[in-house]
A and B are shown apart, each in its own frame.
Chain A
């Protein structure tokens, strides 16, 4: 009860304080000559947000870069040692390869399936469309850890004599006469990596579908009719008329999922903790920092990840701007 009360008070004080702050400065600024008022006002309103971003994002980013050149408890500078250690670390090399797998397959498959479902659902009756889209979208509401637990049951296997398989995958394969498998230990051809990335695709298809479906519905009916009158087949209409018009959305969805996938952590941590060659960069960072206490090396891993994400983000922001400008 006291906790709830103090939480409410804190929210009121925080929000109220911000309101009072803006109101006060607004009053002050309005006393300035109008020319100055107009110049200063935008900065005044955006200022606190920028200050907070600087304090909580920019500052830690720079600190992380500095830490990546220090020893395990950040007490002395050791040059590039962390980077050489990290790059020679077998776990990290695994992680780089696996992150590449994730980056290639998850966004591509999510967008492809999302688009397919969006287009097909568009042809259903409204009721059918609603139901099918809701079903596909539902996993979006599940957290990564929750989804991992659910799929943990799918991949569960029992090896004892006379034990029933409760895992879906093992239940099917043993019914077909195969031996039960430890699915997440199958490192050959990265099978276990793909079993993990299916979880992410399952989670993200809904997101891709919703945005792409909106884009598909925005394609002007006239262009489709014109194509039909010209005698184009449905497949041609899709590839030549619809896809070019929704391409900017495809790119935005693709890069959004891409950035999400570069940071993938929860699924791998919960399912395998990187065992049997399923390591990813974020999990490597986590175990270096929290298990091994190697702060410097962990920071170096993060810097590598940061550098890898930047080009994608720049590209995405540009695309987004271009799309906005096109509207």
Chain B
């Protein structure tokens, strides 16, 4: 009896050992001293969060690199990128290059000394010169060292409108905030709602509102205060934030401004917000949404994008930041191994030539102002690119940079509560401030 139990325990233990030993394989020291460039072995692995279906353009672009350099590049899409990159780096088996959807994580690896400073690999001068100003700020640490180059850009500060109806009605694209408000008032006077806002996004409801807050924060208080706000160096309910919130409130709560009012904004799925815009006589006229909006338009609109859709940049505000800021996002490539292959790849990816193949497949934007715009598939994309290239400063989506419990938690919830009329703006902002993790 007792012997029998012993054997069963022994068997159990050996099974457990077999199962767990699988996760413990590690070979230390594949990343050498940062400044020395080792000889490459002719192949590079990139992991990233971009799913395979969406990455075909990038794979094409990288195939061009392989043709030119003879270095094989393998891209592996990871459905759980954060976990995978963490475990591979901690396990001493990092990929040569990782493609980060959010810059915050890059800086964590910079702090831990795992990511290779960009300056050790390539000459930063020409790269920085052609990039939209401010793009590298988010991946630059306190000592001024940058750690990643952008491979793709997303632009958020765009306002979409139904071009045909717009021209018939004789509306003008607003250049300033006052023009925008005057136009809104005129549309109300014409008996329709100026703004299409839909924020419903299942468990993620709220990001449309936080995007708006960030846009206005960036415009009223300027990039420096914006950075302090995002990193919690000023309280979340600082007067500057309240001001930005009040401006957003003026759009949200002014009678007739938003189609369906605040309740409508909270109940309309973000991908359906544009639908009233395409009616013969639009029920609402303007939608602020990122460049991915072209993928949520109705099919017949997407088929004639250039004729149906107009786009302009959300204008700067009076007495605010002097210039046009752009809010957006980007996939940032950071290196974990310093060898000659990686140097060549980072030079290729960092150049303003990179991405012609990706551009052709659509939905892709270069972060370089000098990128050859003729490579884009349509005029709408070229317009967006020109808007971004003309920006005075670029900032990453702030809620992505905040701790997740705020940026994907209380910030959303409190905005929803405020828009839904459950709290006042000041109360909502204070609640977010109190929810900021202490460490």
Contact = CB atoms under 8 A, between A and B. Distances in A.
Given A273-B203, A275-B205, A158 B264 contact: yes
Interface in A138-190: 156-163, 180, 182, 185, 187
B267 A156 contact: yes
Contact of B205 (A43, A54, A273): A273
B4 to A, nearest CB: 6
B283 to A, nearest CB: 6
Contact of A293 (B202, B203, B267, B404): B404
A291 B405 contact: yes
A275 B283 contact: no
Contacts of A294: 405
Contacts of A182: 263, 266-267, 420
Interface in B358-411: 403-405, 408-409
A158 B266 contact: no
B15 A51 contact: yes
Contacts of A185: 266, 420
Contacts of A273: 202-205
A185 B419 CA distance: 12
A162 B12 contact: no
Interface string B9-50: 001100110000000000000000000000000000000000
A293 B407 CA distance: 13
B422 interface: yes
Contacts of A156: 267
B274 to A, nearest CB: 13
B276 interface: yes
B279 to A, nearest CB: 10
Contact of B409 (A40, A51, A276, A292): A292
Q: Binding site of B, secondary structure by majority: helix, strand, loop or mixed? A: helix
Contacts of B409: 287, 291-292
> What class of interface size applies to chain B in its complex with A?
20 to 34
A237 interface: no
Contacts of A55: 12, 15-16
A261 to B, nearest CB: 20
Contacts of B404: 291-293
B374 to A, nearest CB: 40
A270 interface: yes
Contact of A159 (B16, B267, B416): B267
Given A157-B267, A294-B405, A54 B260 contact: no
A273 B408 CA distance: 12
A158 B260 contact: yes
A300 to B, nearest CB: 16
Contact of B283 (A157, A161, A291, A292): A161
Contacts of B266: 182, 185
Contacts of B193: 160-161
Contact of A276 (B12, B261, B405, B420): B420
B6 to A, nearest CB: 12
Interface string A177-217: 00010100101000000000000000000000000000000
Contacts of A292: 403-405, 409, 437
B153 to A, nearest CB: 26
B228 interface: no
B65 to A, nearest CB: 29
A161 B279 CA distance: 13
A276 B405 CA distance: 18
A275 B418 CA distance: 12
Given A292-B409, A294-B405, A54 B264 contact: no
Contacts of A51: 8, 11-12, 15
14 contacts: A51-B8, A51-B15, A55-B15, A160-B264, A160-B283, A161-B259, A182-B266, A269-B203, A273-B202, A273-B205, A276-B422, A291-B408, A292-B404, A294-B405
Interface of A: 39-40, 43, 47, 51, 54-55, 156-163, 180, 182, 185, 187, 269-270, 273, 275-276, 287, 291-294
Given A159-B260, A293-B404, 8 more contacts: A39-B1, A51-B11, A55-B16, A157-B267, A159-B263, A163-B283, A182-B263, A292-B405
For the complex of A and B, 10 pairs with smallest distance between CB atoms: A159-B260, A159-B264, A292-B405, A273-B203, A160-B260, A160-B259, A159-B263, A51-B12, A182-B263, A47-B8
